[in-house]
């Protein structure tokens, strides 16, 4: 798509680095080592990592829900782009 109204927005979204979540990294590391989805036999250091990752994931989930709530209340903005409508 080559539209002067949309291209900067697309470029902005494409330039955002993916979010790194500790919980995802821990699952990738701990799952193959223990064979458990949620390992229960962890040393104290690993347990503190799991707690920190859980707190981070809960906060991320809360922020996503808040953002979704705000986006749901945005007024539509006409972009002036012709779009083909599809019959379902």
Q: Locate tokens 């707190």: which residue?
A: 55
The mean predicted confidence, pLDDT, of the chain is: 79
Kindly state the tokens that stand for 7: 């291209």
Q: Are 53 and 23 a contacting pair, CB within 8 Å?
A: yes
Q: Which residue has the tokens 């040393």?
A: 43
The mean pLDDT value for 17-43 works out to 74
Average pLDDT over residues 42-57: 84
Query: Is the whole-model pTM more than 0.85?
Result: no
């Amino acid at each position: 798509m080559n539209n002067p109204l949309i291209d900067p927005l697309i470029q902005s979204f494409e330039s955002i680095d993916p979010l790194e979540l500790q919980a995802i990294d821990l699952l990738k590391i701990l799952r193959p080592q223990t064979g458990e989805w949620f390992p229960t036999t962890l040393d104290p250091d690993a347990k503190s990592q799991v707690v920190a990752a859980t707190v981070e994931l809960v906060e991320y989930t809360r922020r996503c829900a808040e953002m979704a709530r705000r986006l749901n209340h945005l007024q539509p903005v006409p972009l002036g782009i012709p779009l083909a409508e599809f019959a379902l």
